[in-house]
Structure 1
């Protein structure tokens, strides 16, 4: 009888142990399944995030490419406009020179009693050759040589009728060399010493452009306002008014 009780007890313990083992396996499988679901959800979220990031980077790259294209287009249009304006000035300069009388060498050429000035400005043909040589260098994009030529011209023929033009092109030669400080210095001579010349309004406009590029919008605005006030009917004044409206 005692042996039978022991046997039944052992049997019950074995069944309980088997049942517990079965429950442990089910719990483990459930936990593994839950973990798998969570990992898959996390991977899906990470994949979605990476895809969104890739799409965002793609859109940004497209936007940068678009903006770069706009900058290149605007740069090209600006350079084209500058070249067109420069060609206009060159053509105008050439046309006006053809209309000038060959003997117009300035006050020094007229005043025969002033020997010092006559020595430098008494030969209109030579003045014309020196001026043309500097201008041809400018047309050939030899801006350094052009600046040397125009600088020598205004020193040699300060009273020549071509001196204002030479001083103006000297300033533009410095602009072409990206030397705005020297350009402003050269153009300021036109606006003061040769304030009555046809080139003075354009020199004010060139100075304003350089001042703006040098990060001095206040000075640029002042130059534009001076241009409009002093030369209201000059073509350059119309450009100045347009710029002032945008400031």
Structure 2
């Protein structure tokens, strides 16, 4: 994994919710690649967080790519609202719907990237079926619903499994196969495997070594004395 291809995506869940616009602008100026926005419904996870209007407000405040993570049931019914609010990618949970393929198709039909998330306890075997149907795979490295949790080390094996499968399938960015990209003479970039939960300098290094290339980090970045240095530390892992 080339380190230059690592993306750092701060999670606004760890920001001051009374200053969302300012907090979004701060990480943009600090060098973030995108902004992760957690949407929680109080049912799929026990916590409640933001909604489409908050996403729209954040979108007005920043030029960052908005990475919207739906931790909620009935995601399909809310896709278009979040697209209209400014989401550039919508990721939903495999465990929260019986209509995985239909939801992925709808997100892509709206002209944005589609991501699929998996909770720590979900079997790795479920991942394989959907890899070529999404733009990003999110592997939760904590149990979803609350920020500030400790990283689950056992997830490293699942990250490695997912990257190995991508390599075996010759699957690259956007769920595209190498043969397609070569035929189109298109650039080849690694498939996006995102990790979220307990990501700091040390756990980020472990995840990247296992095959992750998109790092969501909340507390580590938002509580850092120097936000730009914290983001750079994850991009370079020095």
TM-score (structure 2 length as normaliser): 0.26
Between Structure 1 and Structure 2, the one with more helix by share is 1
Higher Rg of the two aligned structures: 1
Between Structure 1 and Structure 2, the one with more strand by share is 2
TM-score (structure 1 length as normaliser): 0.25
